[in-house]
Amino acid sequence: MVIVDDHEVFRNGLRDYAEVAGMQVVGEASNAVEAVDIVLACEPDVVVMDMEMAGGDGLAGIRALASERPDLPVVVVSGYDEGSRVSDALRAGAAGFVLKTCSAPALLAALGAAARGLTVLDQTARRHFFSVLEAAPTPVASPFPSLSGRERQVLTLLAQGREPSRIARELVLDPHTVHNYLSSVVRKLGVGGREEAAALARSHGLGTGFASRPGDP
């Protein structure tokens, strides 16, 4: 893993816990700018990223890594738990959000889960994240009535240019579940594949903004 945090004490503590647990720390950075170079050089299987750092915005670092290494999970470990921070991190491409108040074993378990391709949110972050989604406005009408609410949500993110792995992270879904939704969308729309589905969605005005949480699964 690579640890990105501007507090040396936190980096040292997490590195010690990780190494005792058998997890290798291959690099450290004190800001998001230097983190990108270190990650590209070290090729870790997971990144720990603080949101608020002197000398570099964590969100910018997440976006940069999502662009350079879209399959690399980045887990935000933050001292702030506002719902907007959680949703901002997931939209930027983070694979999870964990508070610094969590225990070391819980944090290491979250990092291991993220490295296996899962989206991880601790209990507080999950509660705040879904409170933001519940407060988001629901679209008045859909141009694709055959799609379920979740399928429209996945299609909208696809039309915005999101890769399936990133859609899974943003919606806190298993990647296989997202692939199943996409297959259903392609079938229901009668198109030849995901690219055609995305193009059709954009032609009907989808693909702007962040989709709200649907009422049906």
**Cα–Cα distance, 50 to 181 (Å, whole number):** 32
pLDDT tens digits, the chain, 217 residues: what are they?
999 999 999 999 999 999 999 999 999 999 888 899 999 999 899 999 998 887 667 888 898 888 888 889 999 998 876 667 887 888 888 888 998 888 888 899 999 988 888 888 877 777 766 665 555 555 445 577 788 888 888 999 998 888 999 898 888 888 888 999 999 999 888 888 898 888 888 877 776 544 333 333 3
Residues near 32 by beta carbon (within 8 Å), at least 6 away in sequence:
4, 49, 53, 56, 57, 58, 60, 61, 62, 64
Please check whether residue 43 is in contact with residue 17, taking contact to mean a CB–CB distance below 8 angstroms. Answer: no
pTM comes to: 0.64
